[in-house]
Copies of this chain bind each other. A is one copy, B any other.
Amino acid sequence: MKSSFEIKSIGIIRTPYVSSAPYQPFRDQADEDFCIVLNPEFTEGLYRLESFRYIYVIYFLDKINREPSMIVSPPWSNGEKVGVFASRSPVRPNPIGLSVVEIKSIKDNVIYISSIDAFNGTPVIDIKPYIKDLDTREDANYGWVDELEDKEHLILHIKGIPHNF
């Protein structure tokens, strides 16, 4: 069985983040700053995508140049140690990012979206509709974050909400 595969860039993400990106998007960032510019040959593949409120964006974190560790410590977690697959760390065996974003509008090959925590120019590898029932889990939890003392504070970090404490 093959142990590696080739994937291709189908477009890029435009964001205001040139040299640093938040762990997760700041939700008060101006929305017009974020869009996906699809390679023009894929434009027809967006037909009726606008009927969905949310989409998954799957992207390749091409700026990552560190070897992944199996145990990581998320920057906002006060030194908590967890497995890389129990984290959303970008430094992972395959540096693939996954975000749920809201569609603002679609014009030709450009999808205007709500904020996303990716560097400007990040290659996109797939776009999928986020479908209620298939993807919404109202009984999802926070995993190990639930066990931390300052959980409420950390959840603000996870959600990317700016705060002063």
Contact = CB atoms under 8 A, between A and B. Distances in A.
Nearest to A56: B98
A21 interface: no
A54 B139 CA distance: 9
Given A48-B144, A129-B87, A6 B5 contact: yes
B70 A45 contact: yes
B4 A129 contact: no
A46 B85 contact: yes
Interface residues of A, number: 73
Contact of A44 (B83, B87, B96): B83
Interface string A41-58: 011111111011111101
B58 A44 contact: no
Given A45-B83, A141-B53, A100 B7 contact: no
A138 to B, nearest CB: 6
Interface in A1-36: 1-10, 12, 24
Interface string A131-165: 11111111111111111000000010011000000
Interface of A: 1-10, 12, 24, 42-49, 51-56, 58, 60, 62, 70-71, 81-88, 92-94, 96, 98, 100, 121, 123, 125-147, 155, 158-159
